[in-house]
Amino acid sequence: MPLQNHHEILSVDDHLIEHPRVWQDRLPQKYREVGPRIIEDENKHHVWRYEGRNFPQIGLNAVAGKDPRDFGTEPVRYEDMIPGCYDPAARVKDMDLDGVKAAMCYPSFPGFAGRVFMQADDRELAELCVQAWNDFHIDEWCGAAPDRFIPMVMAPFWDIRASVKEIERVAGKGARGLTFPENPVPLGLPSFHTRHWDDLFSALEDADMPLCLHFGSSSLAPGFAQDAPFAVEISLFATNLMWTTSDLLFSGVLQRHPKLKIVLAEGGIGWIPYITERCDYTWERHRWYMDIDKETRPSELFRKHFYGCFIDDEHGVKNRHEIGIDRITFEVDYPHSDSNWPNTRRRAAQVLADVPDDEVEQMLSGNVRTLFNFGN
Amino acid sequence: MPLQNHHEILSVDDHLIEHPRVWQDRLPQKYREVGPRIIEDENKHHVWRYEGRNFPQIGLNAVAGKDPRDFGTEPVRYEDMIPGCYDPAARVKDMDLDGVKAAMCYPSFPGFAGRVFMQADDRELAELCVQAWNDFHIDEWCGAAPDRFIPMVMAPFWDIRASVKEIERVAGKGARGLTFPENPVPLGLPSFHTRHWDDLFSALEDADMPLCLHFGSSSLAPGFAQDAPFAVEISLFATNLMWTTSDLLFSGVLQRHPKLKIVLAEGGIGWIPYITERCDYTWERHRWYMDIDKETRPSELFRKHFYGCFIDDEHGVKNRHEIGIDRITFEVDYPHSDSNWPNTRRRAAQVLADVPDDEVEQMLSGNVRTLFNFGN
């Protein structure tokens, strides 16, 4: 049987749009003017202003509920968005409408993993901005409906010691997952092949908090050609997560951090069998002359550490046993253009038409409960 | 039944190492000194010398028959390689040993698609070098055993008019496929989203000659981190061909060139269902506001124009009907590290264990005969 009424959906990848006062309500007085705030520009558009620069996209890709024929125009004022984008009470209603029990919501203005703060001039302010977002997210957003939102946080990734401190602070407040760049290298930070991140990964292990990697969060756009239509980039974003997967599998990180969990967001799952098989093939032939683990097959590491998620991936669902039912989660992607809201359940029922009940349950909610220790 | 004795193997991706006199035998006298020739450097290594520069890899990755434990050291003299690398008569014996009927062999010193000549200083010499390689390949290499080698050529891609002229010339001599960069952009050439390549594609349609794209031929190395072990890059090269696939599917090239055939080399096939499904999903939602074909689904274009090949892709073979049996070819990759030579048939028999006879026949030889109009 396909999706049943009793099947709950716990989405590991949704998005919130920060309301205008997220930072103004939390930053110390001296930083209010230079910290993130919403202004109206000369075109009467709402834009974020931070450190003297304008950030024109308030709700990039916030198209929830639009007909695809109307995609392509971004909201320029909060009034252009449905309130569920920025108001947690309205979001809960939109989740009810869609039959979604709980959701983990990535940041918008800061980038999916806090890139804007990584690239800021004033590090002290940037660190306060990270803390403010985390407090907003846990206290205000998730606090509005603690049984409906899975708390996600970021950290000041330019400073490992401060990152560890922040992870410990927010773990105490109920944070369940850390959003981290799909790869730190394009952001000018050390790669997974250094020991640089070890203390951060250990802190995550101690807090039992997965590392959540959203495609595109490194700021790298996939594709060869600058003059390609945007469809090329959209269709290829999962290749970023393929790069991330191989990078981590051959990095030694997972051997040093046996309890680390990696959650890949919005990348789909249909590519996982090919990439893990190819990593094994490469490992079988090339491990001898490289400084990599010669004992553990990459696919074994994947099956122990990684989790993928899908929206609408028929090939992936068909091959779910090859991927591992316990590796698969589900996402809604509200309010972005990949989302099927408010028809998430209707579409999921089609994709899951041939899947047994217990497997639907595991992929749509069971794995997420265990992974994020949520709602058990 | 799996692979039977009567099943022939026609490989669409093998490699030849140019012998020392390929260009010296063919260039006009005035260009012999500056054109490609083999010298012995101060370490007694054989290196190519061209336009005053040394190119140290004579047989990059020429490891045929080695135990993987001995991979990692490149041949530095011709004597370090088995003769089948550079001698067509010896190659035929190695193909016999492996049970391989015919092979299409990519260039080595020039790069898989002639990059070295594209980047040369003297364009007149470079064009003569391209012609010399083509004449060597058709007359000398394939000429040694015309029923065993499928003739492949390159063109002076920096000059469209000269490229068309060269394609017409070699088509008259029996050329069956054109090696072209997996994407021209990283080599400083116009993208597939311009009309720049239209005359070249039309010439290929007229000559019924497929465009052969070998992964890595654009010189772009996949992966985020420079300090990653080489295994990461090796495991990810197919993501280049995923980029190429989406790029071409959304380019309009295939609508303007309805008879153009695209052959993807060494990329495997297991990722094809995910990428084509994702391209369709993107197209369904985003086509309205972009200047792309609003009538034809990307997956339909794939099923009409593209061909993939595999060596050892269990996931791809399992999902062959989703990809399309008529889209799938096979490769040996002699003498490179992905190859199973001299155990190609033994390994193929394992991978094809559950595949019906007629489907094995089609994937291992039938599609190649039709595609390259070879040996019918």
Residue A172 covered by a domain: yes
At B65, the pLDDT band (50, 70, 90 cuts) reads: confident
Interface mutation target, options A282, A297, A314, A318, chain B, most CBs of B under 10 Å: A282
Interface of B with A in 175-194 (CB under 8 A): 183, 185-186, 191-194
Residue B25 DSSP symbol? T
Three-state DSSP class for B306?
strand
Residues of B in contact with A220 (CB under 8 A): 224
Residue B239: inside a domain, yes or no?
A: yes
- Contacts with A270 from chain B: Cβ below 8 Å: 273-274, 277-278
Q: Number of folded domains in chain A?
A: 1
CB contact under 8 A, B185 and A224: yes
Q: Are strands A306-310 and B102-106 parallel, antiparallel or unpaired?
A: unpaired
pLDDT of the residue at A375: 86
**DSSP 8-state class, residue A104:** E
Q: Is residue B2 part of a domain?
A: no
Q: Do A224 and B191 touch (CB under 8 A)?
A: yes
Q: Establish if B343 belongs to a structural domain.
A: yes
Contact B225 A312 (CB under 8 A): no
Kindly tell me the burial class for residue A121, based on how many C-beta atoms sit within 10 Å of its own C-beta (0-12, 13-18, 19 or more): exposed
Q: Which residues of A touch B220 (CB under 8 A)?
A: 224
Residue A232: which of B71, B226, B246 has the nearest Cβ?
Answer: B246
Q: Does A41 touch chain B (CB under 8 A)?
A: no
CA atoms within 13 A on the CB side of A128: 18
In what order do the strands lie in the sheet containing B152-153? B102-106, B10-15, B328-330, B306-310, B262-265, B211-214, B177-180, B152-153
Spell out which residues of chain A touch residue B231, defining contact as CB-CB under 8 Å: 246, 250, 279, 282-283, 286-287, 290, 292
Stretch 117-146 of chain A: residues touching chain B, C-beta under 8 Å: none
A162 touches B at CB < 8 Å:
no
- Taking 70 as the threshold, does the pLDDT of residue B243 lie above it? yes
Q: Please, which residues 70-99 of chain A have a Cβ atom closer than 8 Å to chain B?
A: 70-73
Per the CB < 8 A criterion, the answer to whether A185 and A207 are in contact is: no
In angstroms, the CA A258 to CA B280 distance is 38
Contact state of B231 with A286 under an 8 Å Cβ cutoff = yes
- Please say if the pLDDT value at position B1 is more than 80: no
Question: What pLDDT was estimated at residue A258?
Answer: 98
- Neighboring chain A residues of B238 at a CB cutoff of 8 Å: 274, 278
- Token digits for B368? 């190649």
Of all residues in chain B, the one with the smallest CA distance to A320 is B315
**Interface contact B230-A314, CB threshold 8 A:** no
How far is the C-alpha of A319 from the C-alpha of A310, rounded, in Å? 12
Written as six digits, the tokens of B351 are 């991978």
pLDDT value of position A109:
97
Mean pLDDT of chain B: 96
Residue A3 belongs to some domain of the structure? no
Kindly give, in sequence order, each residue whose CB lies less than 8 Å from that of residue B124, ignoring residues fewer than 6 positions away. Answer: none
Per-residue tens of pLDDT for chain A, all 376 residues? 679 999 999 999 999 999 999 999 999 999 999 999 999 999 999 999 999 999 988 888 888 888 888 887 788 999 999 999 999 999 999 999 999 999 999 999 999 999 999 999 999 999 999 999 999 999 999 999 999 999 999 999 999 999 999 999 999 999 999 999 999 999 999 999 999 999 999 999 999 999 999 999 999 999 999 999 999 999 999 999 999 999 999 999 999 999 999 999 999 999 999 999 999 999 999 999 999 999 999 999 999 999 999 999 999 999 999 999 999 999 999 999 999 999 999 999 999 999 999 999 999 999 999 999 998 7
- In the DSSP assignment, the letter for residue B29 is G
Cα distance between residue B293 and residue A282, in whole Å? 38
**Which of A 289-318 lie inside 8 A of B, CB atoms?**
289-292, 298, 312-316, 318
**Which residues of A204-356 form beta strands (DSSP E)?**
211-214, 262-265, 306-310, 328-330
Residue A224 in any domain: the answer is yes
pTM of the entire structure? 0.98
Collapse the DSSP code of B128 into the 3-class scheme (helix H, G, I; strand E, B; otherwise coil) and give the result: helix
Q: Which pLDDT score is estimated for B352?
A: 97
**In 10 A of CB B366, how many CB atoms?**
19
Mean pLDDT of B100-121: 98
Residue B270 scores a pLDDT above 70: yes
A284 lies within 8 A of chain B by CB:
yes
In contact, B106 and B179? CB cutoff 8 Å: yes
Q: In DSSP terms, which residues pair with B212 in a beta bridge? A: B179, B263
Q: Which of A223, A234, A270 sits opposite B247 (nearest CB)?
A: A223
What count of CB pairs under 8 Å joins A to B? 216
Residue B3 counted as domain residue: no
A5 CB contacts (<8 Å, ≥6 apart)?
A: none
Among residues B55, B46, B83, the alpha carbon closest in space to that of B334 is found at B83
Bridge partners of A128, per DSSP, are none
A142 to chain B, closest Cα gap in Å: 30
What residues of A are in contact with residue B69 (Cβ under 8 Å)? 288
Q: Do A227 and B290 touch (CB under 8 A)?
A: no
Report pLDDT for B297.
Answer: 98
**Residue B258 is part of which domain span?**
10-371
Q: Are A153 and A138 in contact (CB under 8 A)?
A: yes
- Please tell me the distance from the alpha carbon of residue B211 to that of residue B264, in angstroms, as a whole number: 9
Predicted pLDDT at A1: 63
Task: Give me the residues of B, 226-265, that contact A with CB < 8 A.
Answer: 226-232, 234-236, 238-239, 242-244, 246-247, 250-251
Encoding tokens for residue A195? 């020991």
What CATH number is attached to the domain comprising A266? 3.20.20.140
Phi-psi region of A276 (alpha: psi -120 to 50; beta: other; left: phi over 0): alpha
Q: Do B232 and A224 touch (CB under 8 A)?
A: no
B171/chain A closest Cα distance in angstroms: 30
Digit-coded pLDDT (tens) for B138-159: 999 999 999 999 999 999 999 9
Mutate to test the interface with A, among B226, B251, B278 (most CBs of A within 10 A): B278
The answer to whether the Cβ–Cβ distance between B235 and A246 falls below 8 Å is yes
Identify whether A56 is part of a domain.
no
